[in-house]
Amino acid sequence: MDKKTVTTISYLSRLKIDDEKEEKIINDLGNIIEFVDQLNDVDTSEIAPLANPLEKTAKTRKDIVTAKNLKKELLDVAPSANEDYFLVPRVVE
Amino acid sequence: MTIKYKSIKEIKNMISNKEISNKEVIQEVFSLINEFQDLNAFITLNEENSIKKAEELDNNPSDLPLAGIPIAQKDLFCTKGLRTTCGSNILNNFIPPYSATVIENLENAGCISVGKTNMDEFAMGSSNETSFFGNVKNPWGKNLVPGGSSGGAASAVAAGLVPAATGTDTGGSIRQPASLCGITGIKPTYGRVSRWGMIAFASSLDQAGPMARTAEDCAFMLNEMCSHDEKDTTSLDNEIPDFQENLNSSLKGRKIGIVKDLDLSSLNDDVVEIYQNSLKEFESMGAELVDISLPHLSLSVPAYYVVAPAECSSNLSRFDGVKFGMRSEDAKDLEELYVKTRSEGFGDEVKRRILIGSYVLSAGYYDAYYKKAQQVRRLIKNDFENVFKNIDVIMTPTTRGPAFKIGSKGDDPIQMYLEDLFTISANLAGLPAMSLPNGNIENKPIGLQIIGNFLDENTILNFAHMFQNETNWHMYTPEGIIQ
């Protein structure tokens, strides 16, 4: 774990790391990765990954509309919206 | 007549015998919450609506199972019209337009949601020290942590402010605070309780459950919390039993698995002695102890700290300042809006976990970390499947020791992660698991963990209830034992 890696993953995470915290974060992340490296102590070459304890395919349901249209309620909780849309800073010049 | 330290069952009886009105119950809850404000157990109170609902119940008495029972809801469940923060600055102002299925189920059963409890930010923590809204204090000692992440819930129940609370458990977040606060809490089988409307942390691990004074009350709450929910694709459609039906079954000849791979030498001596005394208690009720081996158990914490951050980094990508929650004030363009909102909105531990998640999921590291952890997860699940062919439950201490001092784990994240050493494996395997008080160390409570087989909450609740029939550890409060 080094400065370059932390810069890359903080970009991927859309997080800015404050300069004064950067050293500690590099150190913490390095320690955590070292800690989870214990996983290499066991041979898993023949083992299928387990993503979910139920191992069931997500169920499908009948194609019937059940959700109510909450447009107004959802726009009401947005930080910025007009009657129809969420508003964000201009993206097209 | 007071409701302080009363169980759900006792408050129900007091109301139906007209010893107390619904309104008096709720008024006393708010007066207790006020008296114990310094615990910082609640983030948002729901006083006006709660009193109104109680008055309606006094005018029109109801025979619903939880009619008039005050319940504290963890601030991770969306509650329609009531602020829901998940302990985070980024949701500081969020008022959900809908309620979680769990909340709907409990309120349809008549309960009164008195407020939203404090918690570690996005449920990431084991001491309630990561909450944006400040530490929660443990009622057993104001300098002690209550555990986490459901720390506010545990503190409120332990202080006797409410008879029960909802919690969620991704790696131990119901059981560890239950242990440190001397109350009883159960994480059901993954899929038993709908996750719809729960703010997601790690979706393949998260599960909601009740926290209360007794196993009997937990069973009672669970009856109302569980449902098959089409809105959660991982919600189980298996038959839901009456969780109270075999609380009193005999334990004669029942088998308790004792994990021989567990290194107890790293534990406080008192913890080991208390654990062994509890096992003797079960033996005296006719249960048998069987040595079992879970060879991959020691890898559960490292596997968890790959799987949970990976899922968290994906789940928390929705917090971008566009649709809900806070938005940074001074962003010039969309990219800056995302980055500034997230950087100002999330606390350090949440950021750390998002970064780890992004790392283990990124190109070149995915197989080495994420896939590897999922493979180890299967080995852990297989270990449990093997041993449950021959035993009814597994017992371990819930925590390595009693509540620790606020700030004492320093800022080394791994020391904090090891708090969940005994609890994490049940989440990885999706199994139900409970913590109940089984002793005190220097007037600080500690818990016993009972892990059950898939869908077998009833056997756990049976063992726990029989233990509570024979012992009085669940009767201890910070003010002494309940007579």
CATH of the domain at A26: 1.10.20
- The answer to whether residue A67 is domain-embedded is no
> Which of A2, A25, A39 is most worth mutating to test chain B (most B CB atoms within 10 A of its CB)?
A39
- Strands B207-212, B42-45: pairing kind: unpaired
Number of structural domains chain A divides into: 1
B149 is catalytic: yes
A92 in contact with B, Cβ within 8 Å: no
Residue A47 lies in a domain: no
Q: Which residues of A touch B413 (CB under 8 A)?
A: 28, 31-32
Domain annotation covers residue A10: yes
Q: Residue ranges of chain A with pLDDT lower than 70?
A: none
Contact A32 B338 (CB under 8 A): no
The torsion angle over the Cα atoms of residues B299, B301, B305 and B308, rounded to 10 degrees, is 100
DSSP B384: H
Q: Is B88 a catalytic residue?
A: no
State which residue of chain B sits closest to A16, comparing Cα positions: B343
- Structural domains in chain B, CATH included, are 8-254+389-481 (3.90.1300.10), 297-366 (no CATH)
Closest residue by Cα to residue B311 from A37, A46, A53: A53
**Residue A65 forms part of a structural domain:** no
**A54 vs B376: CB contact, 8 Å cut-off?**
no
Instruction: Give the tens place of pLDDT for each residue, B52-97.
Output: 999 999 999 999 999 999 999 999 999 999 999 999 999 999 999 9
Tokens of B273: 């002695």
The angle formed by the CA atoms of residues B325, B328 and B334, to the nearest 5 degrees, is: 100
Per-residue pLDDT band for B167 (boundaries 50, 70, 90) equals very high
Determine, for residues B233 and A58 on separate chains, whether the beta-carbon distance falls below 8 Å.
yes
Which residue carries 């004064």 as its tokens? Answer: A20
The answer to whether residue A69 is domain-embedded is: no
Interface confidence (ipTM) of the complex: 0.95
The yes-or-no answer on residue B179 being catalytic is no
CB contact under 8 A, B355 and A10: yes
This prediction's pTM: 0.97
Burial annotation A69-93 (CB, 10 A radius, 16+ → b, else e): eeeeeebebbbebeeeeeebeeeee
Which pLDDT tens digit goes with each residue over B276-329? 999 999 999 999 999 999 999 999 999 999 999 999 999 999 999 999 999 999
Domain that holds residue A4: 1-41
Quick check: is A76 in a domain? no
Task: Looking at the complex, report in whole angstroms how far the Cα of residue B127 sits from the nearest Cα belonging to chain A.
Answer: 18
**β-strands B70-74, B393-397: how paired?**
unpaired
In whole angstroms, give the CA distance from residue B229 to residue B234. 9
Q: Is residue A49 part of a domain?
A: no
Average pLDDT of the residues in B24-29: 98
Does residue A14 lie within any of the structural domains?
Answer: yes
Residue pair B424/B410 in contact (Cβ under 8 Å)? The answer is no
Residues of chain A with Cβ-Cβ distance to B94 below 8 Å are 77
